[in-house]
Amino acid sequence: MNYVQEEAVNALSAINVGPVRAFNIMRTLYGGFDKVCATKVDFKNFKRDLNRYIAEYDADMVIKRLRRKKEFMPNFSMEYLTTAEGVLRALFWADGDTKRNFNIFGDVVSFDATYRRNKYNMMFVPFTGVDNHYRNVTLGAAIIGDETAETYSWLLNAFRQAFGRAPPVIVTDQDPAMRKAIQDTWPESRHRLCMWHIMEKLTTRVGANLCNSTDFKKRLCDIVWTDALRPEQFENEWGVILADFDLLNHEWLQSIYQIRDTWIPAYYRDQHMSGLMRTSSRSESENHFFGQLCNPNCTLVEFLGHFDSVIEAQRHEHRKNDHDTRHTNPQIFAKEYVLEQQAANIYTRTIFFDAQLEIQTAIHKCAVGKGEDREDNFVNFSVKDFSQACTTVFQVMMRQLDMTVSCSCNRYEQFGLLCAHIFCVLRLLDIRQFPERYIMRRWTREAVPNSASGAILGISESDDRYQQVNGVVREITRSAESLINRLVHNFDALCAFRDHVVQYQSTADQAVVNAPPRSRRDRFAEITGYTQETPVTVRMPKTVRFKGMGKPFRMKSNREIAIIQSAKKKKGRACGNCKRRGHNRRTCSYPARENADDSSESDEADLEGDDEEELEDVAGEGDDKEELEDEEQE
C-alpha cells in the first residue's frame, strides 16, 4: 500500500467505511484490481495493525488529542474522570460553536445515554437542543463507563463548568440515577420526564383488554397529550375517567398521577419554552444520527473521528438551511396582511411556515368579539377559534400603548411564537408593525452569525510536518479534480494534461532520494500523532456491563429448555453391564454376562439397538431444531 491508500483507509474510517469497502471504492475509481497495486487483504491487514498499535493506548491517545484541541482551538473545554488505578471512567468535551449554540438554543435540553456502545461498552451521552430551523443541535458530548448517580453528577458538574450555567428545563427518561444526579447538581433546573416512556407502559400496566375493547386509552390520551387544558381541568378529567372505569385504586395509575407535574403538559403551560420537548425523542433521533456512523467494535480514537464527522455534517446542514432561508422567498397567501410578509423576513423558513399557519387560522377560522376595558389600559378580547375541538373561546389581553399582549392559550410562553388569537386581534386593530418585543431571537434567521465553518476535524490544530503534507495533498487532489471537470468535454486538452502528468513522473523519479522505506510502526505514529514511547497517563477500561444489557446469552423459552433437557437424558452414558442407557452398573436389573461369546452376541445386539435409538434421537433433534427455527422466525 502506498501513502495515498493508507491515508484514504484512515480517512474513510471516520465515516464508518471499512477497509474492504475502501478497497472496492479505489479499484472502481482506478479502473480495475491491477491498478490498485494492493490486495483486499493488504487493506484489512493495515487497518488491523493500526488498531493493534492503538490497543491499550486508546484512552491516552484520545485524552492527548482533546488536550491538543484545547491548546489550539479557542474556547474548547474537556474534562475526564479516572479511577485510582488510572482507568478512564468518563469524558466530556465541548468546543466554541457548541457553547455559542447553548447560549442561543439552550432553553430546553434533552439528555439521554445512547443505545450505541464502543468496544469497551462505554456509553455515548449527547446533550441535544432545538435550533432555529427546528432541527437537532448538539450542545455537548460525553462518554461514560457506567450509569450511576455519581458518574452522572460528575458529568453535570463538568457541563456547568464548561457552559457557566444549567439549562432551565432538562428532559430525560425515568432513570433514577439521572433523577438523583439532576436533583443534587442542577436543583434550579426543572426536570421533565419523557411522556412517551410513561404512556408506552399503559397497555401493559392496565391491561390490553381494557385499552383495546373500550375508549379508555383514547379518553386518557386526549387529556394527557393536549396543551389546551389547565391543571385543575386535567385533574377533574383524570378523576372522571378513572371513576368511569373503576380504576381509582389502581397502583400504577396512582403512582404516575403523583408525579403529574413532571410530565403532563398542563403543568408546563407557564414554563417558558417547555413546549419544545415533551419526550426524549430528540435524543433518540440524535442517537440514531450518530449511530449511522458508529459501530460497536470501534476504538475511542475511531469514535472521536466519527463524532467530528457527524458534527461537521450537522453544522453543514445548519449552514445550508441558513442559506436557503436567506436566498429563497416563501409563498405569501394573504398579501394584504402585511404582518405575514414581515414574519417571512424575520423568521427562518421552518418557523415562518408555523407562523403562517397561525395567521391563516386567524383570518379564516377565528372571530373576535367586542373588547372590554380593564385596568391598566388593557382591553380584553374574546376570540372564538373554530379549529379547536376543546376550548373554543380564548381571552386576549391587549394594551396598544406599548404593544403588550397575552393570550389564555399560552402559546407564546410555551413555544415563543404568537398564536392565531393574537394575530386575529392585531388584524382587527389594523396593527401594521410586527411587535418587536415578541420576536424571539432563537427563531430568527440571524440567530447564528453567518460565519465560516470551524476547524472541527483537527486539520488546522497544529503546524507540524504531517498536517502540512496532508494539506498539500488535499490541495493537489482538489486542483486535479477541478482541471478534469473543466477539460472533460475537450478531449485534446484532456490528453495534453495527461501527457504533462506522465512527463512529470520522470522528473519526480529523479527528484526523489532513494531513502529506505519507513517502518509500519513509524507510519502508525505519524497517522495517530502518538508514539508508544510516551508514558501512559490514562488506561483503557475493561469491558463493562450497562443498564438494559440483559443476560449475556439469548433467553430460551420453556419449550426449548425442555427439549434440550430431554435430549441430554437420551444421550446418557451406557450401563457397563448390559450396555443399555438410562441406568448404571449398580442399578442394572439384567443378569451379569457369563461368557465372552454371549457377551459379544449381546453386545452386537445392544449396539444395533443403540444405533437405532441414536438415529431416532438425531432425527428427533432435527425436527426439534426445525420447530425452534420456525418459532424464532414467527
What is the pLDDT averaged over residues 486-510? 81
Q: What percent of the chain has pLDDT over 70?
A: 80
Question: What's the rounded mean pLDDT across residues 530-548?
Answer: 62
Q: What is the mean pLDDT of residues 477-489?
A: 78
Check pLDDT > 80 for residue 97: yes
Q: Identify the pLDDT of residue 624.
A: 46
Flag whether the pTM goes above 0.85.
Answer: no
User: Which triple of cell numbers denotes residue 319?
Assistant: 449552514
**Between residues 586 and 225, the one the model is more confident about:** 225
User: Domain limits of the chain?
Assistant: 73-193+278-318, 198-262, 338-443, 560-633
- Written as nine digits, the cell of 227 is 396543551
Residue 376 DSSP symbol = G
Percent of the chain with pLDDT over 90: 35
Alpha-carbon Rg for the chain in angstroms: 34
Higher pLDDT, 165 or 114: 165
For the chain, what is the mean pLDDT? 81
| Spatial distance between the Cα atoms of 23 and 156, rounded to a whole number of angstroms | 43
Q: How many angstroms separate the CA atoms of 545 and 549, rounded?
A: 7
Comparing CA positions, the residue from 191, 173, 174 lying closest to residue 182 is 191
**Residue-wise burial string across 151-173, b where 16 or more C-beta atoms lie within 10 A, e elsewhere:** bbbbbbbbbeebbeebbbbbbbb
Looking at the predicted structure, is the pLDDT value of residue 607 above 60?
A: no
* Dihedral, CA of residue 41, residue 44, residue 50 and residue 56, to nearest 10: -120
The band of 115, judged by pLDDT with boundaries at 50, 70 and 90, is: low
3-state SS, residue 139: strand
Q: Is 303 helix (H, G, I), strand (E, B) or coil?
A: helix
Contacts 24+ apart (CB under 8 A), 237-243: 241/216
Helix-helix angle 281-291:300-327, to 10 degrees: 110
Of the candidate ranges 376-385, 487-496, 541-550, the one whose mean pLDDT is the lowest: 541-550
pLDDT surpassing 90 at residue 252: yes
pLDDT value, residue 599: 43
**Using 50, 70 and 90 to split pLDDT, how confident is the model at 512?**
low
Q: Are 619 and 627 in contact (CB under 8 A)?
A: no
Phi, psi for residue 408 in degrees, rounded to 5: -70, -15
Q: What are phi and psi of 416, to 5 degrees?
A: 80, 20
pLDDT in tens, 265-305: 999 988 888 778 877 777 777 777 776 666 667 788 888 88
Q: Which of 61-70, 159-168, 463-472, 476-485 has the lowest mean pLDDT?
A: 463-472
**What is the rounded distance in angstroms from the CA atom of residue 497 to the CA atom of residue 500?**
5
User: What is the average per-residue pLDDT within 381-392?
Assistant: 80
Residues 117-167 have pLDDT tens digits of 667 778 888 899 999 999 999 999 999 988 899 999 999 999 999 999 999
At position 9, the amino acid (one-letter code) is: V
pLDDT of residue 535: 67
Q: Which of 477, 340, 490, 362 is nearest to 423 (CA)?
A: 362
Which residues are registered as beta bridge partners of 138? Answer: 128
Structure-model confidence comparison of residues 477 and 246, the more confident one: 246
**Crossing angle of helices 420-428 and 338-346, rounded to 10°:** 130
Query: What is the Cα–Cα distance from 272 to 410, expressed in whole angstroms?
Result: 10
342 has pLDDT over 70: yes
In angstroms, rounded to a whole number, what is the distance separating the alpha carbons of residues 15 and 613? 56
Rounded CA-CA distance 133/131 in Å is 5
Kindly report the backbone phi and psi dihedral angles of residue 139, in degrees, each rounded to the nearest multiple of 5, phi listed first.
-115, 25
Q: Tell me which CATH homologous superfamily contains domain 73-193+278-318.
A: Ribonuclease H-like superfamily/Ribonuclease H (3.30.420.10)
